[in-house]
């Protein structure tokens, strides 16, 4: 992935399924979701995706990207869409690490905004 593709890559993590995750995250990645899901690590992330509905659309606002050596941190507000409506709004951050010439997701966190 080229550095200018981080936002497209991030969008794919919202829209795509387990195969995309397998190819684009480190094996021991950590994802922090609101309860009841909570914190998932590595294989737990893939297992949770197997039967989970994916978002049909996601829109990012207030985007920021910080680069430091072999790491990149994205921070943003996301609106997740299903059935033509924005039904989920969250503050998010994701960290990517460069390994073997590839940028891979190592950490993702979501904090819901509103009800």
In the chain the domains, ranked by start, together with CATH numbers, are: 3-112 (3.10.450.50)
Going 38 to 44 to 63 to 15, the CA torsion angle's sign is negative
End-to-end CA distance of the chain: 35
Residue pLDDT, tens place only, 14-24: 999 999 999 99
Going 47 to 12 to 68 to 109, the CA torsion angle's sign is negative
Residue pLDDT, tens place only, 36-93: 889 999 999 999 988 888 999 999 999 999 999 999 999 999 999 998 888 899 999 9
The predicted structure's pLDDT at residue 85: 86
């Amino acid at each position: 992935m080229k550095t200018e593709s981080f936002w497209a890559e991030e969008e794919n993590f919202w829209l795509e399924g387990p195969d995309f995750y397998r190819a684009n995250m480190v094996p021991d990645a950590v994802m922090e979701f609101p309860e009841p899901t909570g914190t998932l690590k590595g294989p737990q992330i893939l297992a949770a995706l197997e039967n989970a509905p994916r978002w049909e659309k996601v829109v990012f606002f207030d985007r920021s990207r910080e680069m430091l050596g072999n790491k990149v941190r994205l921070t943003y507000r996301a609106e997740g869409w299903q059935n033509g409506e924005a039904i989920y709004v969250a503050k998010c951050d994701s960290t990517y690490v460069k390994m073997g010439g590839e940028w891979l997701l190592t950490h993702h966190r979501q904090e819901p905004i509103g009800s």
